[in-house]
Chain A
Amino acid sequence: MTDDELVHALVGDLAPVRRLRGATVRAAAWAALATGYVALGTCVLGPRPDLARVLRVPAYLAEAGALIAVAAAAAIAAFQRAVPGAERPLARGLACGALIAWIGAVALRWSGMQWAPGWTCVARLIALGGAPAIASIVMIRRAAPLERAWTTGLAILAAAALAMLGTQAVCARDAADHVLVWHVVPVVIAVAIAVTGTSRSAPCRATTRG
């Protein structure tokens, strides 16, 4: 098939398209939905008894702020990466920076390892983060991500950051070892699975032909 024949075939296949909204608008729409879902989920799971008290602790608020920054920056970075040529390194850098700052803040509270299973927190993370993660992946696949693996990884990270925020509001165990092993490690595993799984999956297709 020559270029001209291909152009002819593609022109014949042309249908009016519904233009995709900007990355920030799409990220904001996702964030609004996801935040509502996580807030509702947190209420359903039952907030920790001392939530009113910890919400006045500056360190707790700083960690929560870092998680919100991770979620917002990772979501913007993921939606930007889903559009060819639209990515700005700033959002990705902010997401990484905020994540490192949050993990660092948690690690500073480290006071030794006390092995105690925290499978309930893993289940909470899945319950709170699953739906927002699926929603972000669906929204990203409606665009045209070139590097699908890392774009999906950032989307999962955004959803996971919100889920960790919700889990922190439900789980009263603030010890660094518990948070790092039972809140962070599952997220790292989820992102790793998403990145490797997506890089091997079939390419996504645009679905917004109108």
Chain B
Amino acid sequence: MDDRLDRQLAELMARAQGGDRRAYEAVLGAVARLVRELARPRLPDAVDDVVQETLIAIHHALHTYDPSRRFAPWMYAIARHRLTDIARQRERRQRTEARAPVAAVPHETIADRMSTASFVRRALAHLSTRQREVIEMLKLEERSVAEIAARTGLSESAVKVAAHRGYRRLRALLASGVDD
């Protein structure tokens, strides 16, 4: 990031910390582009996850930015941490799945599978803890997003993101017979 852009984003951040939504939108837009460039060569199939998790982390860490300092080290520290975290999660998941592969159900259609509670439970078990908790609270316990946010300590936006990602992964798992 060049000095001019850094100064520009630092000024916008200072305004965002004061509640300026337009400035905040500009910062987040720029961060999304920068993080996308950072993540693409390292985790090409998880760029969206890295970008969105970074945006949420930046939202929670907004008060920690000091506008008298450069913006890039603060932003990239968060982005790199999210990137490493997501890479580790994926490695862990792949290792777990390699150790205990769930056999596909060859003679059933997707509709049959979806109607089977145990099948859905197995698919749920492949989600991250956060995604599973959020989906269970939303769909099984029929709690509102605000309630879940209060119970988990996540923001409402983070709850929605976790649910969205969980649904996406569930769809993929159910379509592939869970052995994703």
Chain A proximity of B164: nearest CB distance (Å): 4
B 39-89 contacts with A by CB, 8 A: 48, 51-52, 55-57, 59-66, 69, 73-78, 81
> Contact: B17 with A16, CB < 8 Å?
yes
B22-30, B104-112, B172-180 - the one binding chain A? B22-30
Q: What 0/1 pattern do residues 33 to 77 of A give for CB contact below 8 A with B?
A: 000000000000000000000000000000000000000000000
- Which residues of B lie under 8 Å from residue A143 when comparing CB positions? 61, 64
- Which residues of B lie under 8 Å from residue A11 when comparing CB positions? 21, 24-25, 28
Q: How many A-B Cβ pairs are below 8 Å?
A: 104
**Bound-complex Cα distance A79 to B75 (A):** 18
- Which residues of A lie under 8 Å from residue B120 when comparing CB positions? none
- Which residues of B lie under 8 Å from residue A6 when comparing CB positions? 52, 55-56, 157, 161
Provide the main secondary structure of the chain B interface: helix
Q: Does B11 contact A (CB under 8 A)?
A: no
> Contact: B160 with A10, CB < 8 Å?
no
Which of A11, A13, A16, A17 neighbours the largest number of chain B CB atoms within 10 Å of its CB? Answer: A11
Interface size on B, residues (CB 8 A): 41
> Contact: B66 with A19, CB < 8 Å?
yes
- Which residues of A lie under 8 Å from residue B156 when comparing CB positions? 9, 13
Q: Does B155 contact A (CB under 8 A)?
A: yes
- Look across to chain B and name the residue whose beta carbon is closest to the beta carbon of A21: B66
> Contact: A206 with B63, CB < 8 Å?
yes
> Contact: B24 with A14, CB < 8 Å?
yes
Q: What 0/1 pattern do residues 195 to 210 of A give for CB contact below 8 A with B?
A: 0000000110110110
